[in-house]
Structure 1
Amino acid sequence: MNILFPALAKEPILSDIYEYFGQKDGQNYIYGVSGSQKHAIVAACYKNDPKTTIIITHGRENIEDWTSDLSSLLDDTEILELPALDVVNVAASAKSMELKARRMQVLGQLARQEKNIILVSAQAAMQKDMSRQDFENSSIQLEITKEYNYGKLLEELVSLGYEHTDKVEQLGQFSARGGIVDVYPINLELPLRIEFFDNEVESIREFDINTQRSVKNIAKCDILPLMRTDSSGTPALFLSYLRENCTVILDEPLHLKEAVMANIKENPEIKDLVYDWNDILNAAKKHNLLFISLMMQRIPDTQPQNLVSVAVKSTAPFQRQMHLLCEELKNWLEQKSRILICLGDREKINYLQDILQQNNIPVSRSENPTQLSDKMVTFVVGSVLNGFEFPQSHLVVISEKDILGRQKKKLKPRQSAKSAEGKIAHFRDINIGDYVVHVNHGIGKYLGVETLTIGNVHRDYLHIKYSGTDKLFVPTDQVHLIQKYIGSEGEVPRLSKMNSTAWKKAKAKAKASVENIAKDLINLYAQRKNGKGFAFAPDTPWQKEFEDAFPYEETPDQLRAIREIKADMEKPVPMDRLLCGDVGFGKTEVAIRAAFKAVMSGKQVAVLVPTTVLVQQHYKTFTNRFKGFGPNVGIICRFNSPKEQKKTLEDLAMGQVDVLIGTHAILNDKKVKFKDLGLLIVDEEQRFGVKQKEKIKRISKNIDVLSLSATPIPRTLHMSLVGARDMSIIETPPQERFPVQTYVIENNDVIIRDAIKREVRRGGQVYFIYNRIESIGKMYLHLSSMLPDIRIGVAHGQMTEEELERAMLNFYEGKYDMLIATSIIENGLDVPNANTIIIFNADNFGLSQLYQMRGRVGRSKQMAFAYFIYQKDKILSETAEKRLQAIKEFAELGSGFKIAMRDLEIRGAGDLLGAQQHGHI
């Protein structure tokens, strides 16, 4: 948004602020500004004098506000965040490296003196890092033709915190075979394949994780440390990485001080593990230091040389009152003010320009204006959170929120998700020793990637062993011909013999067998595909208004899923689509938009959910979203009186209920009669029994069906993979969501007690999962005696529905600090305040159950923790070990689909037609 800065530079006081920002040292205090006003001033300073700029603010909400405005104002500048880590030491194997990697990446940029803006929360500023000297000494530099000891490299990677695996799949991993090392440095976008000839680096190539193909050769590389695995070295505050010519900004310094002190007070066990306020302030004073706040307040132990008061005021909110907006714009233009209106997209700009011109207000129609005028209103696609006015320089900036009453924050996107094809390839990942199936040659054993030289050309090949001495080298550009053999894990398949007719015969036999087994089911899906459905109308302007009212930035995957679902709905063929996305990744919002589209075409919507508790949850979510937009939502559940139920059903039959939410009771077509049902939304499809699914099949032949699931049952997943059902995947986490910090530990009362107390101290709640109803009372007494100040509730399946509902709602409403429950909470209420889950005897649960339960936490901006407890000295079964290992492997966000694939592998795909969910295809 470069158009703003020349106009802002005319503000008289800004020349002083530019000077103070550009100093090499000193302390200056800017006050009288808040929100987007201070964000615009800092952006202007950076634009005038780009330099390393650290902004320390007190909380996550502030980080988001700064990120949103700076990303829009400085759209050519990278806005980074130094993330906060979990500082509590737990003697367990945790597998979530994402935050550590992100923190080390930012420290690396500081060490290299790269010019950018880095946002730091109070919690992140307090944490101890390795010193800059240790960081630089720990980095590994490699260059082709230069010598580097192969064995030493492997040792150094381990000492730098990299994990040795069979196959590199994510940041912070490395693998070695022969003279080749694959490593995924935390500072690079792609992993590296480093090939040695004796102790000389012969080649360094970037490669693609999904295809294993080399992307390009590079001459040299730096590998940054992830962490120090030894205890040597002096810890340091991140500000010690700064060198000359940088500026540190303390945003609302007294609030910042309060946040630092509160963090230590609420978590006394971290006192010796973090820096305090004085440490941070003293480190900041070694650099050019700016304080910025709304009110001018004395800050102990500081001596600002200059106090700068900025004359700026906030614009009034117009709340869609266009006549008020037009009056105010005319007044500003009469005063020769230059007016800039920032809106989220070109469509909104065109809409508002038309309104202003109808009211005789001159507007600039240029799509890329280069300067502001005092004779007309200028528009740009961009965002500021709040509008502001600089009266002295006659500059007015108006935000979308000022005009429309709402606005989405522009947050820094996470890494864009891979294409659907890439995802599917990713979920077929193979490791050395795995059995694989080649479409033309049959079952073989994968022995790794080898680099062969043929005709003076270096090329990577997948080495596959077949029966006897047969072996096959598959070029990496033909990896699509191979997929992992998926049977029950532990089963050893017979290797195929190359150049034999046995594989062709086996393929033909299997094909005929599958065709027979799946005939009825495929016929059903074929009937749906060939059936005459209802073609819903294209989106209306009202649909656009409704979607714009969503207060969060949609993820790329959400937007793609919405497009795919709408495209299906607009076809005259009944839709049958599976929407697979992690718990809390935004599936419900996608479903709500589909429901709204159906209602706009005059159709009714049925929302089928597995539990009464979820009926209440969805009813609240749908009614809140539809508020002010028209659709009428009804529910069928046992909490309604008979009179209310009767009224709802009468209204439904008359078409006065647009969306009906309920459990399987809504499948009773004798009692529940829709006037014109057009869309069925099935939430957590895998939770319904076979008979209920048969009913779903019956009522959904000629209507559109959208099924939602985080971890689809293997049969459902298999049907999607083979193409009988369409599938959309939401893999991108919402902005600013953190992976759940996952620990697998032996039973230990001290760790359990500390984890619970720590969560409750920070104002959160805890799930404690104990799956033995007969002794859940003893566990309640044990935890109550251990934690006398904690309010504890109990929930299990042998309670009456009313008792269970009351326990769940009491927890939801914050009346309990901790809920001891069986796995009944697997599909429970969404409690964003619950951010710690402890699963007792975790080895006794199924993989999807563990994954779903862990998904109960981490649904807010707080860092969440999951502790999987197993009994000390207990010998775990091989299957239990695999489950816990899988959960550790998939600690990162967006793993639900991977979990389903691993589940398919551990227990087989199941009977495609019947009730079984185990066995083999």
Structure 2
Amino acid sequence: MHRILGHDKSLIICENQFFLNDFINFLKDKKIDDYFVLNDLEVLPYDIFSPHQEKLSSRLETMAKITSEDKIIVLATINSLIQPYFDKNSFNSFSYEFSEGDQLDRNHLINSLSKSGYKASEIVSERSEYAIRGSVIDIFPANSNLPLRIDLDDEKIESIRIFDKDSQISFQTINKYKCRPSKGFELDKEAIALFKKNWRREFNEDGDFFDQVSKGKFPEGIESYFPLFYEKKPAFEDFFSLFSIFSYGKVDSGAEKYWELINRRFEDFISDKNRPPLKPKLLYNDPAEVLKNHEILPVKKEIETTSGVNKEAEVEKNLNQNQTTIDDFNEFTIDKKIVHSNYGIGIYKGLKNLNNTECFVIEYEGEEILYIPVDSINVLTPYVGNQDIKLDSLSKNNWKLKKEKSEKKAYDIATELLEAEAKRKIEKSEQLIIPDQDKYQAFKDGFGFSETPDQAITISQVIDDLSISKPQDRLICGEVGFGKTEIALRASYVCSENLKQVCILAPTTLLARQHYELFKERFKNFNVKVDFLSRERSQKEKKIIIDELKNGDISIIIGTHSLLG
């Protein structure tokens, strides 16, 4: 350790994430926490999807620290160091400083944020998002762990507050803050012109991707074209020329495997006219340059390699508890559907060794094949649902569209729930009590069984809900036969005793009729009229039942969705 601490600037290159996690644990044991991790972007080479914004922001911040700190320890996997860098001259090309009492031009702010890769959003919950609601501007800076809320008085900044992204409640006031770029560069006229010039130097045709960038947009996967936005490709030496460099694990072997994967992926995408891939040497950093001068650190015995294979199972205890482990392979069954977070639903075809890299094989529509290295298992989950669902396609955009549609639907549902809860907090409901405990005991005796502990607790909670002025909002979950219907019966009794009407909605006519027979039997000695409404009823019967409901003659009505018509 003294060899590392004896230098002002040290870079530790780790073979993979296992070795990096182990080295972090080693530093923790030595009570050393003053270090930075240059994280992996966690996308496949030439991926059409962008890395998660958290990964981009963390990488950008660490690279900024590398250029500004006089004394620093940096940890990185060999894959991370081979991946594209930001241009260090562009770190401060976009910055927008907010200070209390300053004037703020909202139009100029929106334009600046958009050109730097920030996205407009209804609610700010992730880095590089912003929302404007009248005189309130919410921004989640790429270089911040928490979002900011700016209150304006006309065009004057009245206050700047930090708020919680989950509760959206502000909790601290600050005087000023400087936003950094989201993508490492600003997509202004100069950047677009430079991109066009560099693109046409490398490719013969323009294509859809070229058109999107030319219009000032940040398309998915723009990171695979980073060098085209700079006059000169950022290189390893630009950042680490003054560092003492150490390696931990078989970094040469790791670099060789990753470089082979990069070249295979390049060949896979080389025929794509809309998104032609840059040559590996133009986009990625040459492993030979990264590893040309480094000191090898001794590896702890429990993670030393034998015959070129890491004993990863032996160091599993040192890994982050949230990391997916090899045990999760058992969740995948050959010829069963599987979901990739970026590419959608395919069929798992087993494992295949490609140039000493173990990969999952996934087949998509049109017999398209995707190979996923096993260390990227976190992007895969077993498919659960309708087995007749159509497979997604690697060459089409249908999965992305489905994801966007689902996210929008989820947002709409969340909005409705929030609105309902807001109304529920404002509104008052009549407090329902049990007027005659002896009579209620007689009704309980009709159950004929002993209540389970969970059932007794839930019944008590539901009755308590009915006794307060806030409208009830409770979901009862349980397996078939665990007594959910009895809970509904007890709640219906309390309501009917307080001269309130009850509606029991069932998903099928058969279940609705079964409930009707049970409710009618349980309430037959309590002067409570129970009735049943479904498609089985004639129009004449339906009219009579509806009239009795309106008149209050029916206390409990049971039926299917026809009750809502």
Q: Normalising by the residue count of structure 2, what TM-score does the alignment of the two structures yield?
A: 0.49
Q: Normalising by the residue count of structure 1, what TM-score does the alignment of the two structures yield?
A: 0.32
